[in-house]
């Protein structure tokens, strides 16, 4: 899924600065990494791309769709069917087991249909991320790394055209970092999905043809 941004602005509530991205273009199936200090707007841009936040100015298109112009229901539908989001703090449901957390998008939206193919794919993802033997365990019984992998499986299961990953390797040991990156790369490549990943880990940037530094995207608001 192609990403197009032109003069995108976003104002934080009760803050004296705004996020301003003059231009950004990511081709479909491309991999792009967002780097920069904490608070520089990386996660905010991910949320703008997902339609969770709405920009105060500029244009944002995903494929042929101008996300801010969709109504609320259409944005939610677009998000759950076309975008896979791996949240920094996982956003798992603690009273559900691993399998139900992975399946969650299929439970909460009628646009996603649970079929035997999807079930097989869910099993394969769990196997690939090393959590297949924990599918009946509740997520609050898992380690941070295991929870991260559950979140990745949930994001990848609907085969989205755009995968947004907010520091998906932040809680993992080096061996698991490589394993997760490999899964993310393989899955997105296999389905022609665009991967946008926020990271602080500069060692991971070699796998990304395009790296966006957020150092200068914040501008002060006039008094």
Cβ count within 10 A of residue 42: 26
- 223 burial (CB, 10 Å; 0-12 / 13-18 / 19+) is exposed
Which of 92, 139, 152, 195 forms a contact with another protein (CB under 8 A)?
Answer: 92
Q: Are 37 and 202 in contact (CB under 8 A)?
A: no
Sole binder of another protein in the list 107, 186, 200, 202 (CB under 8 A): 107
Minimum CB separation of residue 195 from another protein in Å reads 18
21 is written with which tokens? 């991205």
**Candidate ranges 4-12, 89-97, 119-127, 169-177; the one touching another protein (CB under 8 A):** 89-97
Write down the least CB distance from residue 88 to another protein, Å.
11
Give the whole-angstrom CA distance, residue 7 versus residue 160.
Answer: 26
Residue 14 is encoded by which pair of tokens? 């009760």
Check binding of 165 to another protein (CB under 8 A): no
Question: Segment 137-156, which members bind another protein (CB under 8 A)?
Answer: 138
Q: Tell me the window of 93-101, 125-133, 187-195, 197-205 that interacts with another protein (CB under 8 A).
A: 93-101
Burial class (CB in 10 A: 0-12, 13-18, 19+), 45: buried
Taking CB under 8 A as the binding criterion, the range among 91-99, 172-180, 183-191, 202-210 that sits at the site for another protein is 91-99
Alpha helices in 23-71 (DSSP H): 42-50
35 binds another protein (CB under 8 A): no
Nearer to another protein, 97 or 187 (CB): 97
């Amino acid at each position: 899924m192609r990403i197009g941004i032109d003069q995108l602005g976003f104002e934080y509530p009760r803050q004296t600065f705004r996020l301003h991205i003059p231009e950004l273009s990511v081709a479909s199936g491309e991999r792009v990494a967002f780097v920069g200090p904490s608070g520089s707007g990386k996660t905010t841009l991910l949320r703008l791309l997902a339609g969770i936040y709405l920009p105060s100015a500029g244009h944002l298109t995903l494929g042929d769709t101008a996300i801010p112009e969709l109504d609320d229901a259409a944005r939610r539908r677009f998000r759950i069917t076309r975008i896979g989001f791996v949240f920094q703090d996982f956003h798992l449901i603690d009273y559900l087991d691993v399998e139900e957390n992975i399946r969650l998008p299929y439970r909460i939206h009628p646009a996603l249909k649970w079929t035997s193919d999807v079930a097989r794919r869910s099993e394969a993802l769990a196997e690939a991320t090393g959590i297949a033997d924990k599918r009946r365990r509740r997520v609050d019984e898992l380690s941070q790394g295991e929870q991260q992998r559950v979140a990745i499986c949930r994001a990848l299961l609907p085969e989205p055209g755009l995968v947004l990953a907010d520091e998906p390797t932040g809680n993992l040991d080096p061996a698991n970092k490589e394993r997760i990156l490999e899964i993310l790369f393989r899955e997105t490549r296999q389905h022609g999905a665009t991967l946008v990943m926020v990271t602080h880990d500069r060692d991971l940037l070699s796998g990304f043809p395009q790296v966006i530094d957020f150092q200068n995207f914040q501008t002060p608001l006039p008094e």
